[in-house]
């Protein structure tokens, strides 16, 4: 009780509060906040009907559907395979495991343009994989399937890296208890392990999805960028910029930014949930 009333007057032992607060806020404002505000400022140069017409033009609508759909599917596929990869890396021993573990982060480290031309060539008509798929009648390059593959590539590490630490910290006694009570291995996974991994899985899914929505470099080479068919939303912004139509580009950017901010909020809530879950497990 007494300490509560004293708290506001508490002397800070460590120095540098004003300096670090000042610099952090200054740098954040200068590099991030003020330039981001410019987007909303520029968007006001359009009237409301103009803005609405721009963001709902047919090519834009088609691009939202494509970007959302492909990102969602890619994140879903990554959630499934990412869980298996994390599981295998944590629980099993096999030859070359350390190298495999290190290479999972490749999509983070490999520049998007490199990933883009590589996937485009690999899945192109004469590429290693494209050649094999041709006789089966499957076309990947310049189709929506290609976009899905590029987005799967860039989202791959997110699920693995969010699930892996949780899986490592899982208390083996819980599984032992379940097993001694007669649960089968599958029941233990489904009823004991999976519920504990769910927050991490959802966080990883949301991170991969958010990253895929804004992705540009790795997609444009394999997509072919045909209007209404294989044009993702960042490509629409790029096109308007190339025609120096800044208000239009900005209007679409506003839509993307709002979606990103909502997702960021959701991810923060999910991460808080993951951490809470994790600490209650450890306690």
Q: Does 217 bind another protein (CB under 8 A)?
A: yes
Q: Does 234 bind another protein (CB under 8 A)?
A: yes
Looking at 57, 73, 90, 129, which residue binds another protein (CB under 8 A)?
Answer: 129
Q: Does 266 bind another protein (CB under 8 A)?
A: no
CA 217, CA 17: separation in Å to the nearest integer?
40
Total binding residues toward another protein, as defined by CB under 8 A: 99
Residues in region 43-82 near another protein by CB under 8 A? 81
Q: Does 6 bind another protein (CB under 8 A)?
A: no
- Minimum distance, C-beta of residue 93 to another protein, in the bound complex (Å): 10
Query: Exposure of 222 by Cβ count < 10 A (0-12 exposed, 13-18 middle, 19+ buried)?
Result: buried
Nearer to another protein, 82 or 143 (CB): 82
What are the Cα distances from residue 122, in Å, to 130, 145, 148, 224, 228? Answer: 6, 14, 14, 15, 25
Looking at 109, 136, 137, 279, which residue binds another protein (CB under 8 A)?
Answer: 109
Nearer to another protein, 104 or 229 (CB): 104
For the four alpha carbons of 207, 210, 214 and 219, in that order, the dihedral sign comes to: positive
Is-contact 275 267, C-beta < 8 A? no
Q: Does 135 bind another protein (CB under 8 A)?
A: no
Residues in region 178-207 near another protein by CB under 8 A? 179-180, 183-185, 188
CA 195, CA 253: separation in Å to the nearest integer?
37
Nearer to another protein, 1 or 19 (CB): 19
Is-contact 157 107, C-beta < 8 A? yes
Is-contact 143 224, C-beta < 8 A? yes
Nearer to another protein, 143 or 149 (CB): 149
Looking at 46, 79, 107, 203, which residue binds another protein (CB under 8 A)?
Answer: 107
Query: Can you tell me whether residue 186 is helix, strand or coil?
Result: helix
For residue 7, what is the enclosing H or E element? none
What are the Cα distances from residue 58, in Å, to 55, 72, 260? Answer: 9, 21, 22
Binding to another protein by CB under 8 A, coded x per residue (else -) over 140-159, reads: ------------xx--x---
- Minimum distance, C-beta of residue 60 to another protein, in the bound complex (Å): 14
Is-contact 188 179, C-beta < 8 A? yes
DSSP state of 199: H
Residues in region 9-38 near another protein by CB under 8 A? 12-17, 19-21, 23-25, 27-28, 31-36, 38
Looking at 55, 60, 66, 115, which residue binds another protein (CB under 8 A)?
Answer: 115
Q: Does 121 bind another protein (CB under 8 A)?
A: yes
Q: Quick one: which segment of 53-61, 114-122, 136-144, 196-204 binds another protein (CB under 8 A)?
A: 114-122
Residue holding tokens 């291995």?
Answer: 185
């Amino acid at each position: 009780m007494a300490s509560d009333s004293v708290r506001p007057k508490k002397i800070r032992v460590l120095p540098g509060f004003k300096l670090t607060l000042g610099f952090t806020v200054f740098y954040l404002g200068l590099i991030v906040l003020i330039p981001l505000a410019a987007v909303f400022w520029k968007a006001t140069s359009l009237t409301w009907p103009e803005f609405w017409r721009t963001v709902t033009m047919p090519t834009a609508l088609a691009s939202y559907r494509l970007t959302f759909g492909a990102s969602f599917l890619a994140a879903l596929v990554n959630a499934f395979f990412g869980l298996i990869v994390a599981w295998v890396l944590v629980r099993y021993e096999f030859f070359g495991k350390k190298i495999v573990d290190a290479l999972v982060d490749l999509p983070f480290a490999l520049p998007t343009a490199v990933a883009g031309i590589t996937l485009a060539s690999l899945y192109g008509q004469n590429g290693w994989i494209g050649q094999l798929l041709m006789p089966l009648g499957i076309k990947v390059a310049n189709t929506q399937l290609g976009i899905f593959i590029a987005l799967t590539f860039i989202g791959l590490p997110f699920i693995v890296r969010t699930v892996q630490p949780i899986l490592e910290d899982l208390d083996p006694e819980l599984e032992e208890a379940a097993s001694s009570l007669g649960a089968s291995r599958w029941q233990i996974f489904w009823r004991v392990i999976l519920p504990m991994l769910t927050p991490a899985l959802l966080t990883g899914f949301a991170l991969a999805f958010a990253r895929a929505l804004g992705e540009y470099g790795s997609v444009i080479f394999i997509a072919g960028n045909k209007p209404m068919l294989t044009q993702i939303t960042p490509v629409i912004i790029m096109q308007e910029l190339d025609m120096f139509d800044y208000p239009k580009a900005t209007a679409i950017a506003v839509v993307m930014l709002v979606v990103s901010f909502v997702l960021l909020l959701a991810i923060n809530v999910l991460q808080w949930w993951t951490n809470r879950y994790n600490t209650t497990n450890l306690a």
